[in-house]
Amino acid sequence: MDVTSTGSADLVIVANRLPVDRFEQPDGTPGWRRSPGGLVSALEPVLRASDGAWIGWPGGTEEDLEPFEADGMDLVPVHLSADEVEEFYEGFSNATLWPLYHDVVAKPEFHREWWESYVRVNQRFAEKAAAVAAKDATVWVHDYQLQLVPQMLRDLRPDLRIGFYLHIPFPPTELFQQLPWRRQVLEGLLGADLIGFQLAGGAQNFIRLVRQRVGHKTHRDLVYLPDGRTVRAAAFPISIDAADFEKLARSEGVEQRAKEIREALGNPKKVFLGIDRLDYTKGIYARLRAYSELLADGHFDVEDAVFVQVATPSRERVEQYRILRDEIDRLVGRINGDLGKIGSPAISYMHSSFPREEMAALYRAADIMVVTPFRDGMNLVAKEYIACRFDGQGALVLSEFAGAANELRQAWLINPYDINGMKAALLDAYNASPRELARRMKAMRKTVVEHDVKAWADSFLEELSSVRRDHGKTVRPVSQG
Ligand code: G6P
Position in ligand 1 atom list of the atom nearest CA 145: 9
How many CB atoms are closer than 10 A to CB 255? 15
282 within ligand 1 shell (Cβ under 6 A): no
Comparing C-alpha atoms, which of 320, 322, 312 is closest to residue 276?
A: 312
Comparing C-alpha atoms, which of 218, 223, 216, 171 is closest to residue 197?
A: 171
What's the pTM? Answer: 0.95
- Domains of the chain by residue range: 9-238+455-467, 242-450
Output the pLDDT for position 3: 42
Q: CA 118 to CA 364: how far, in whole Å?
A: 41
Output the pLDDT for position 116: 98
Q: Which CATH number fits domain 9-238+455-467: 3.40.50.2000, 3.40.50.2300, 3.40.50.300, 3.40.640.10?
A: 3.40.50.2000
Question: Letter for the amino acid at 76?
Answer: V
Output the pLDDT for position 371: 98
Q: Are strands 73-77 and 68-70 parallel, antiparallel or unpaired?
A: antiparallel
154 within ligand 1 shell (Cβ under 6 A): no
Output the pLDDT for position 193: 98
Position in ligand 1 atom list of the atom nearest CA 15: 9
Phi/psi-derived region of residue 236, left when phi > 0, alpha when psi is between -120 and 50, beta in every other case: beta
Position in ligand 1 atom list of the atom nearest CA 93: 14
Asked if 422 and 287 count as a contact pair (C-beta separation under 8 A), the reply is yes
- Give pLDDT < 50 ranges for the chain: 1-5, 480-481
Length of the chain: 481
315 within ligand 1 shell (Cβ under 6 A): yes
In testing the pocket of ligand 1, which one of 13, 16, 17, 378 has its CB within 8 Å of the most ligand atoms?
17
Output the pLDDT for position 481: 43
Distance, CA 316 to ligand 1 centroid (Å)?
13
Handedness of CA 439, 440, 445, 446 (dihedral sign): positive
Handedness of CA 428, 430, 364, 361 (dihedral sign): positive
Output the pLDDT for position 384: 96
Output the pLDDT for position 22: 86
257 within ligand 1 shell (Cβ under 6 A): no
225 within ligand 1 shell (Cβ under 6 A): no
Question: Letter for the amino acid at 303?
Answer: E
Output the pLDDT for position 63: 76
Q: 242-450 belongs to which CATH class?
A: alpha beta
